[in-house]
Amino acid sequence: EVQLQASGGGLVQAGGSLRLSCAASGFSFSDYGMGWFRQAPGKERVFVTGISRSGSSSDYADSVQGRFTISRDNAKDTLYLQMNTLKPEDTAVYYCAKGQGSSAGMDYWGKGTQVTVSS
């Protein structure tokens, strides 16, 4: 079965950095685009960043452009999110997600990992 296990979240001061990882299993990882979403307290889940199946292209929400970098290691079936210059408004539960393959939508989300940025 498809499994997406996010890790690497924690507490960090504003201006600091964190790297999230997502270990994928149960599907052919390299055949699908992947992404990260987040959900802040009291808000709905929103798109953060996505990456093509080869890792050759990516896109970002305006709120994280220039600060976050998505990457993947297809040999390890692992997705990454490098987060730099973190801000308190980045505080959220972060979820990795699997692309559908035939559209821009996602069909599976991992359990998520908490990122808290203090000021």
pLDDT above 90 for 26: yes
b/e map 85-118, b = 16+ CB within 10 Å: ebeeebbbbbbbbbbeeeeeebebbbebbebebe
Q: What is the pLDDT of residues 93-117, one digit of tens each?
A: 999 999 998 777 999 999 999 999 9
Q: What is the mean pLDDT of residues 14-42?
A: 97
Q: What is the mean pLDDT of residues 60-84?
A: 98
Predicted pLDDT of residue 104: 76
